Amino acid sequence: MIAKIILRNVNQLFDYAIPPSLGTPKSLLGKRVWVPFGNRHTLELGVVIALADSSSFSRLKSIAKIEDSTTPLLTNDLVDLTLWLKNFCFCTYFQALQCVMPAGTLSTGNSKLKLNDKIAKHVRLKCDKPTAEALSKNTKSVLQSKLIDLLLQVNCVALADICSNNQSMRSAVKALQNKEIVEVFDKKVSRNSIDYNNFKPTKPLKPFPQQQKVLTRLTQAIDSSTYTNFLLHGVTGSGKTEVFLQAIDHLISKGKQAIVLVPEISLTPQMIERFIGRFGQKVSVLHSRLSEGERLDEWHKIMSGDINVVVGARSAIFAPLPNLGMIVLDEEHESAYKSEKNPKYDTIDVAIYRAKSTGSIVISASATPLIAHYYKATELGEYELLTLNQRSNNSHLPKVTVVDTRAELASGNKTTFSRTLKREVESNLARGEQTILFLNRRGYNSYLMCANCGDAIKCPHCSVTLTYHKRWNKLVCHYCNYSISGVTECPSCGSNYIRYYGDGTQKVEGDIATLFPNSSCIRMDMDTTMAKNSHAQILGEFKDNSKDILIGTQMVTKGLDFENVTLVGVISADLSLNLPDYRSYERTFSLLTQVCGRAGRGDKIGRAVIQTFQPDHYVIKLARNHDYLGFYNQEIIMRKRFNNPPFCDIIQILAVGKDEKILEETLRQAVGMLNIRMQVSVPKPAPISVIEDNFRWRVLVKCAATDKVRAMLATITDSFATKPDVKLSIDINANNML
């Protein structure tokens, strides 16, 4: 027997002989091993991903030693999955491996992870608040100003969290240290090992008839141990989570285990509470705050069969449970389930693959399932549909008021608050109840536009519109952080008729201070959530210190589960409705339904106010009535008419580089390799045609992404992988089509 091994630097499988002293070949599958490579004398770390009887190479080198002497880091089904992922998602072998292995375990020199990293460097303000605020307004550096802003909201953040994705942040911290504005200090970080004693044990509730019907079907599928793919359509509060808990209980009694996926783990404390409340120590929570060592600890615990339920975000789909029996995707419509970096997998595809190879069931659940999935359930039979259409606790869906922004403007109200919304906020303040305001945009005034030539002012490196931030009086690029200040004339035509358009979160924050001077308000958007954990910190601040108002972008629509929140205001529904994407109606509908469905989760009845220029738009009307089926029936007609998913898949082949001629030529060659009849666009610059001085060209292919098509696409990426001057990547049904 010989071993096929994935190594870091070359995108192919390498054959190695297995010395008898290393044990049976089979025991090596999924283990990390050290092998001699090339002419170098050092050993390379690799992973045994397949075994074969013989090799086409004659003089094979042998595996030198084993890193994982006892258990491998991958179960057998994950070993197969790695190879599948490489071809299914057009990435390299190593990228596929990185995705299924715990972080850090593949970096040479780091193969033995430090397990007790309890101290971490943190940064906090060293000066008083007014000094910090003044500096944030006056500094020329956007990053320094952002950091101060963040520290004004959350006290301290781990250095690693803010610098991991942003190296220039390190210099910003240094500069502020030199000015004695911030200090860096060692902080003990909790081991994140959850204190299971903090959770109150719960018992199964007696299922309502609808729940019982769903449960009966699920237990039947579990007992049969055959792959089944369910779509659970259940309105918010219909008792979906209770159904998962009881189905998992049954699963465990059969000696099997479950993976429960949520879109964003830091925003779902209640979910964790309920799972640990029911299953105690047998729950493993994989969240982004785990250090590499802690993650590996959890990994070993899961591998050993000691865990019954793994709860986590997208990447937890790769949890190495030895007896997998069920995979749940909660809030299955969320775009977080699609990975945007290599391998660009859609979690449902991975879930189905694992479920098929282990005889498991998959449950995708949502109050607003993806249109494509609902179609696959009702028309194609790719899912079995289950429905819960009543709220469990007899609470009512909130009362939704739609306000016509045009009428407000006509009557002379130019503020971001309609009279209705203002009145509702005031009455909430008077009653001591909390309000969430949602705005799909950050910055102060969104952008500067020339009233003479109509050009918006753009980033010279990225070809996207710059956003104006009042706080530091600058136009900032949200793609590369480029910034300029004091623009008084149009760069295109020289006219000085430049005007601000659109309102961002900061502007609304300012309006709140003016309109409701005695209220307390906290803001959550990309600027205030640079650090990994700051979402949760801000939500905690909102809840624990009972701030009156939470204002934020998209992210406030998730994790809204506060009893005292009785009012939700959508400042403008128009922006997301009018985005140039075939999914903009679907996303707006689901956003509005989710936002509105969340107000009044406690005993008090919730209210929602939606402000819009298009009050008669069917998306708004149907969302107002929480009418998913009505929306589905309209939307599926549009999808069919314009041949959009689910009637095809949209394949984007993107080429990035410095020379547009090369990009165009590369794409032509790539398209030439697709030899079946399909709808292919000519190579064109992408809507965002430049990022960080690199050009971006693409072709779009509309066809069903069958195995045959995917195989051709994998050949394309492999053959262009080493081509200099151009980076080619392929994504199917990408979230972001810009």
What are the residues binding ligand ADP (CB under 6 A)?
205-208, 211, 234, 236-242, 392-393
Report how far Cα 440 is from the mean position of its chain's Cα atoms: 16
| Gap between the Cα atoms of 248 and 363, Å rounded | 11
Closest distance to ligand ADP from the beta carbon of 242 (Å): 4
Residue 556 tokens, joined: 């406030």
- Beta carbon of residue 235, minimum distance to ligand ADP (angstroms, whole number): 7
Q: Which is nearer to ligand ADP, 200 or 677 (CB)?
A: 200
Could you say which of Zn ion, ligand ADP, none residue 227 binds, taking C-beta under 5 to 8 angstroms by partner kind?
none
Residue 554 φ/ψ, nearest 5 degrees: -25, -40
Total residues in contact with Zn ion, by rule CB under 5 A: 15
Q: Tokens standing for 467?
A: 């956003």
Q: Which of 721, 719, 652, 718 is nearest to 687 (CA)?
A: 652
Tell me, what DSSP letter sits at residue 465?
B
Considering the rule CB under 5 A, would residue 547 count as an interface residue with Zn ion? no
**Residues 6 or more apart in contact with residue 368 via CB below 8 angstroms:** 333, 589, 590, 593, 594, 628
The one of Zn ion, ligand ADP, none whose footprint includes residue 238, by CB under 5 to 8 A per kind, is ligand ADP
- In which order are the strands placed within the sheet that holds 119-125? 156-158, 119-125, 182-188
> Taking CB within 5 to 8 Å according to partner kind, which of Zn ion, ligand ADP, none is near residue 479?
Zn ion
Smallest distance from the beta carbon of 243 to ligand ADP, in angstroms? Answer: 7
Contact 618, 634 (CB under 8 A): yes
- By CB atoms closer than 10 A (0-12, 13-18, 19+), residue 441 is buried
Check residue 339 and report its DSSP letter: -
State the binding partner of 405 from ligand ADP, Zn ion, none, CB within 5 to 8 A by kind: none
Q: Which is nearer to ligand ADP, 202 or 735 (CB)?
A: 202
* φ, ψ at 314 (rounded to 5°): -35, -50
Alpha-carbon distance of 395 to 496, in angstroms, equals 56
Tell me how far apart the alpha carbons of residues 108 and 206 are, in angstroms, rounded to a whole number.
53
To the nearest whole angstrom, how small is the minimum distance from the Cβ of residue 274 to ligand ADP?
8
Per-residue binding string, Zn ion, 495-534, x by CB under 5 A, is: x---------------------------------------
* CB closer to Zn ion out of 79 and 462: 462
Nearer to ligand ADP, 205 or 407 (CB): 205
Q: Which of 490, 531, 650, 730 binds Zn ion (CB under 5 A)?
A: 490
What's the CA gap between 622 and 629, in Å, rounded?
9
Q: What is the DSSP letter of 458?
A: B
Query: Contact between 492 and Zn ion (CB under 5 A)?
Result: yes
Secondary-structure percent of the chain, ordered helix, strand, coil, rounded to 5? 35, 25, 40
Q: According to CB under 5 A, which residues from 463 to 482 bind Zn ion?
A: 477, 479-480, 482
> Phi then psi for 142, rounded to 5 degrees?
-65, -40
374 binds, among ligand ADP, Zn ion, none (CB under 5 to 8 A by kind): none
Q: Could you say which of Zn ion, ligand ADP, none residue 493 binds, taking C-beta under 5 to 8 angstroms by partner kind?
A: Zn ion
Q: Is 493 in the site for Zn ion (CB under 5 A)?
A: yes
DSSP β-bridge partners for residue 231: 364, 385
Supply the minimum distance, in Å, between the C-beta of residue 370 and ligand ADP. 17
Q: How far is the CB of 205 from ligand ADP (least distance, A)?
A: 4
| Closest separation in Å from C-beta 201 to ligand ADP | 14
Q: Which is closer to ligand ADP, CB of 191 or CB of 250?
A: 250
- Please give the DSSP secondary-structure letter assigned to residue 340: -
Min separation Cβ 600 and ligand ADP, Å: 13
> Residue 218 binds which entry of Zn ion, ligand ADP, none, with Cβ cut-offs from 5 to 8 Å by kind?
none
Question: Burial of 662 by CB count in 10 Å (0-12 exposed, 13-18 middle, 19+ buried)?
Answer: middle
In the complex with Zn ion, which residue's Cβ is closer, 139 or 467?
467
Identify which of 585, 444, 474, 604 has the alpha carbon closest to the alpha carbon of residue 138: 474
Question: Least Å distance between CB 484 and Zn ion?
Answer: 11
Q: In the bound complex, what is the minimum distance in angstroms from residue 330's beta carbon to ligand ADP? A: 8
Q: Does 370 bind Zn ion (CB under 5 A)?
A: no
Of these partners, Zn ion, ligand ADP, none, which one is at the site of residue 553 (CB under 5 to 8 Å by kind)? Answer: none
Tell me the sheet residues that pair with 499. 449
Q: Which does 492 bind (CB under 5 to 8 A by kind): Zn ion, ligand ADP, none?
A: Zn ion
What's the closest the beta carbon of residue 500 comes to Zn ion, in angstroms?
15
Distance in Å, CB of 474 to Zn ion, minimum: 13
User: Binding partner of residue 482 among Zn ion, ligand ADP, none, CB under 5 to 8 Å per kind?
Assistant: Zn ion
Each residue 443-462 as x (binds Zn ion by CB under 5 A) or -, in order, gives: -------x-xx-x---x-xx
CA distance linking residue 409 with residue 574, whole number of Å: 15
In whole angstroms, the minimum distance from the beta carbon of 715 to ligand ADP comes to: 44
205 binding partner (options ligand ADP, Zn ion, none; Cβ < 5 to 8 Å by kind):
ligand ADP
For residue 206, the partner it binds in Zn ion, ligand ADP, none, with Cβ less than 5 to 8 A by kind, is ligand ADP
Distance (Å) of CA 460 to CA 134, 457, 472, 569, 712: 29, 9, 20, 36, 37
What residues are paired with 6 via a beta bridge? 13, 47
Q: With respect to Zn ion, which residue has the nearer C-beta, 199 or 468?
A: 468
Q: Is 732 in the site for Zn ion (CB under 5 A)?
A: no
Between 38 and 687, whose beta carbon lies closer to Zn ion?
A: 687
Do 538 and 155 contact (CB within 8 A), yes or no? Answer: no
Q: Which is nearer to Zn ion, 401 or 492 (CB)?
A: 492
- For ligand ADP, the closer of residues 241 and 483 by Cβ is 241
What does 80 interact with, of Zn ion, ligand ADP, none (CB < 5 to 8 A by kind)?
none
102-107, Cβ contacts within 8 angstroms, sequence gap of 24 or more: 102/73, 102/292, 102/295, 102/296, 102/299, 103/292, 103/295, 104/292, 104/295, 104/296, 105/32, 105/73, 105/292, 105/296, 106/8, 106/32, 106/45, 106/47
To Zn ion, the closest distance from the beta carbon of 444 in angstroms equals 18
Q: Which residues in this chain contact Zn ion in the complex, by CB under 5 A?
A: 450, 452-453, 455, 459, 461-462, 477, 479-480, 482, 490, 492-493, 495
